[in-house]
Amino acid sequence: MTEKSIVILISGRGSNMEALLRAKLPCRIAAVISNKADAQGLETARAHGIDTAVVSHRDHADRAAFDDALAQVIDHYQPDVVVLAGFMRILTDGFVNRYMGRMINIHPSLLPAYTGVDTHERALRDGVKIHGCTVHFVTPALDGGPVIIQAAVPVLSDDTPQTLSARVLHEEHRIFPQAVRWLCRDQARLDANGRVCIDRIEQLGSTLISPGLD
């Protein structure tokens, strides 16, 4: 199997990008691209000898112009997979369709619950007992693409948005590399009906019940 290449898009510190670097994935990370020149993750990527680029959304008149410029930079690296790792821009339908079936995102909630931002605050406000994170294929529907993998965590009675975020982030760093690994090995894909197919044996895991049973 030919080694696949990925391009990672970030907007900030890039902790999920770092998780991918630590995972020693069966692919080549061709570049890390950010819409912010001061994104901390760019320095991390450079320290690992990875090409970096900045495409600032502020330099373009609208989202479509920014997406066109971003696509040109991405296509220069000819990636097999485009990975959104904390990339905080809403992408146009044209951009999403350009990479349909080979662009994924990680989101800090158990989708389809809590799309968008402030997921931990909203989960706490609603009093849910189980929260988590999701890796999904990107489609034009915001955070609405087919789910590849999810991880759930209990919501504790004394949780704050910060403590809950930290617990969820730990799981993000576990499931994101797994999703990318499946894609790089051609083990995960979209079928003709737009559903996720994963070539692996289903494993029975322990049930998460929160609060626990007496």
pLDDT at 2: 87
Q: Which of 48, 107, 120, 170 is catalytic?
A: 107
Among this protein's residues, is 170 annotated catalytic? no
Measured distance CA(50)–CA(62) in Å, rounded: 29
Backbone region of residue 179 per phi and psi (left: phi > 0; alpha: psi in -120 to 50; beta: other values): alpha
pLDDT tens sequence across 61-78: 999 999 999 999 999 999
- Residues 182-199 have a mean pLDDT of 93
Predicted local distance difference test score (pLDDT) of residue 211: 80
18-31 tens-digit pLDDT:
999 999 999 999 99
| Mean pLDDT over each residue of the chain, to the nearest integer | 95
Q: Which residue has the tokens 């680029």?
A: 53
pTM of the model: 0.94
Residue 17 has pLDDT above 80, yes or no: yes
- CA pair distance 121, 114, nearest whole angstrom: 10
Give pLDDT tens digits for 162-182: 999 999 999 999 999 999 999
Structural domains in the chain, sorted by start: 4-198 (3.40.50.170)
CB-CB contact of 29 with 50 (8 Å): yes
Query: Which residues pair with residue 132 across a beta bridge?
Result: 152
Query: How much is the pLDDT for 108?
Result: 98
Q: Is the pLDDT of residue 1 over 70?
A: no
175: number of Cβ within 10 Å: 19
Residue 141: alpha-carbon gap to chain centroid: 15
Average pLDDT over residues 107-129: 98
